[in-house]
Structure formats: C-alpha cells, structure tokens
Structure 1
C-alpha cells in the first residue's frame, strides 16, 4: 500500500508477479492489492500463510501458484492459470531474483547457467508468453527488475551483475518490438533495499555505513520505496514511458 498516491486505473487489472510471496515481492503483492488489482504470483516456497494475511486485510485472496522459475514450462502454466482466473495478464512484474554471492574463479558452467536461469531467462519467457493476451486486451505494462549493482560495477556476484545488466538490454529491445501493440516495457533498478534477507545474509554495520555514504539521500531504502515506483510504471500515469531504466537507489547510480 502506498501513502503517497493512488493509481485508480490499476483497479481490477490482472497482475502477475514472480517471487510475490516474500521480500520485496510480498510488498509488491500487497501494494497492487491495495490498489484494487487482481494479483497472481509465483513463489518457490509455500506462501499460504501470506495469502491468509492478505485475504484478512483486503477481503480478497491473491492467487498463489508454487513454481520454480527455472522451470519455464511450469512458469508458462502459471501464466495461463492466472489469465484463466483473472483475465489476460495486463501487468507483468518480473521481480524474482537470487543474489547469492560467488567468485569468478569458483563458478562452473552449471553455476553460470543456473544463475541466468533465475536472474535473466524468466524475464524473456514470461514476456513472450503474455504479449498475445496484452495485445488482445489493448495493451499492457511489463516491469523488469534489474539492480543498481550493475551500474555500480559491484564485485562479489559477477553472474548476477551480468544478468542484471542484460535485463536492461532485454527491456529496450522488447519495448521496441511490442510498442506498436501498446505494450510498455520498462526496467526498475533498485539500490540496496534492506529486506529481512539482506539484513540476515549480507548487511554489516560497516557495510551499511559505507553504502549510505555513497547515497545522496542519507536514508536506507525499504521495500515500500520500490512498490511506489512499480505502481507508477504499471499505471497509465507513466503511459508514455517505455524502454526506460528507472533507478530508485537514493542517488548512487547515474543514468542519462
């Protein structure tokens, strides 16, 4: 839920989110439900309890489908199910990712392929699968989550950074390809959002202090910062925005 703006045109939109049951994804699910959208999401882990919470809060239940996004056939099945229940998907949010740390010297071919099967490949195949329905519906919005880590040139997870850079190129070419069908494709580029996972696995007092020093705005990002930006890109409030990479990182990475 956003306290800053209401995007009225999102009401009753059919929204599909990858990784929508935990972390930033759970906040996205809640934000779209608060806007009155019909939300479907996939998650590898069980999200029944989260759906119970959303139903209690909003009086309606998101459609949760268990799915490992490296399984493209299953991913396509869930897109079909979402369309059958909620109507053609008109807002696609490719959010799911895995930023597990790794070193170049330790990466095998299988490790590399798995990383891209999580962090880049789903963005292509979900888009491929929804465009026909979006075209029939008169248009749609696709939001691909990248990461400011590629703009910063971060070390410590090179395959992840490469995938996140690739998402920008994919976004631009798909925006050009599907623009004539009134389908907008944009990338959202979050900075370091302090989810529970980040705090548990990667955040240290020294690291947080160093990162904040590099931001123009001296406040750490929280999931809601990303939700507000995503709702804007999904809404017709951004109707003439496409092929763009919108950075939400407190002022670390420059684009333009």
Structure 2
C-alpha cells in the first residue's frame, strides 16, 4: 500500500522541462504525476494512447499543470527524436530526461529468434542512447541537465526467465557510465535507476502469485512492497539540483533484494 508521509519538495524542479518515456502507466505514470506535482513542465511519450490521455485529464483535475502527451513507438528513433525536438520548440530546453520505457515479457532461450532479440534491444535499451543523444545539445547550451536511465535488478540476480531483457538492462549500466564520462564536462549528469520488484498493476496482475509473495518475503530486507512512488521519489532527487554531484552511479530501490 502507498503510505502517507510528508515528502520533499524540490524548488529547482519548479518550471523545469522534463521528458519521460513510457509515461502512460506503471512506474512511468508515477513519474509523470510526481514531476507535475513539483511544478515541472512535463512531456511524456507512450504507445498506450487511451491510458495516457486519461492520465493527462486526471492530473489536470487535481489542479496541477497538465503534462503534454505525444503518442510514440520509441522503436521508431526518428519519431522519438522528433518528439524531443517538438518539446524543445514548445517549452525550451529539456533539462531532465527520464529513460523509463521498457517491457519485461518473459521468454525462454529456445524460443528466442533473431527478430525477437533485436526487438527486445529496441524496446528496452536502444532508445535510451538516442534520446540522450537528442537532449545533449540543449542540456549543454542550457548549462547542464540530468539524465536518468532505468535499469533493473534482474541482471544483478540473473533472472532465468527473460534473458534478452536481462541483457538489455545490464547494458544500461555500461551506457550510463560511458555517457556520464563523456557528458560530464558539459555539466550533464547521467545516472542509472535500478528498481526492484515494483508493484505496478501489470506486475500484480501477471506475476504476483503466492509463490511470488513468498519470494519477496525471503529476499527483501524490508517487508513493505516497493511501490511506483518509491521509484518516482528517487527520480525526483536525481533530477533536482540537490543531487548536483551525483553522476555515473546506479541507485537501487528494491527493499534490499540484492
């Protein structure tokens, strides 16, 4: 269950332009809601148009500045980078990029084809590089920015039921460190968020079985369930000026699973 605590407000995020991939549901939805609540100018992309438009209306009804939603399949890199350019043209330089989008469908090694493997890399990893490539010049010219790439603890624990996904998420740690070193002189910070088993609607519907509950009880140090909001609050910190000397790191939010 979500818990009612007084959480931080980050003045540096008020009015800051933020771009979020996969913002229509799950962790992405929570990211959109939390950054809008901070007063950020948020644009998000997703392929789920109905859910995304409903999210925009929900945030508007709560009295926050409504985010912009751009329908986009981020496997189409030209469309992704066009959405980034459109955001800059409308709102100014993007100062925060949250590379959140991904898909952890289960699969077995013997069933993986070349086409499926390439698609998993496109869905989970390739777009993160090209989104960072697109925002870099505007962040540099604006005096800096924050890029948060989203990984997963699956590569740390070696999950056996999704090898292509595990591979793509492991690659994000290397990508993060390489970009942090290259972009650092331009005051662009690049970090990797590594969520544990987050209780999104999809995870609970597909995989939170009694066996899964027992696994959480055995593996997590903390017995509360990791919520999308737990990930969003760490992302707020990494996006804000409060973390201005944090870069080239991975930040694990998993209740102590690994």
Aligned 8 A contact 2:230 2:253 in 1: yes
Q: Secondary structure at the match of 1:142?
A: strand
2:26 is the counterpart of 1:23: yes
Contact 1:188–1:230, Cα closer than 8 Å, also in 2:
yes
5 Å matches for 1:28-47?
Answer: 28-46=31-49, 47=52
In structure 1, the residue matched to 2:120 is: 115
Moved over 2 A (4+): none
Number of aligned positions between the proteins: 253
Provide the residue aligned with 1:220 in structure 2.
Answer: 225
Corresponding residue for residue 257 of structure 2: 252
How many angstroms apart in 1 are the aligned matches of 2:5 and 2:95? 21
The residue aligned with 1:4 is 7
Decide which moves more: 45-54 or 33-42.
45-54
Task: Note the alpha carbon deviations across 1:61-113, whole angstroms, 9 max, x for none.
Answer: 10100000100000011001111122111000000100000011110000000
Pick from 125, 128, 140 the counterpart of residue 135 of structure 1.
140
130 and 250 in structure 1: CA distance in 2 versus 1, 3 angstrom threshold: same
Give me the TM-score of the superposition, normalised by structure 1: 0.97
Tell me how large the CA RMSD over aligned residues is.
Answer: 1.1
Q: Is the 8 A contact 1:190 1:249 kept in 2?
A: yes
Q: Which runs of 5+ in 2 are unaligned?
A: none
Which stretches in structure 1 are left out of the alignment for 5+ residues?
A: none
Q: How does the TM-score come out when normalised to structure 2?
A: 0.96
Distance 2:176 2:131 in 1: 12
What aligned pairs does 1:56-95 form with structure 2 within 5 A after superposition? 56-95=61-100
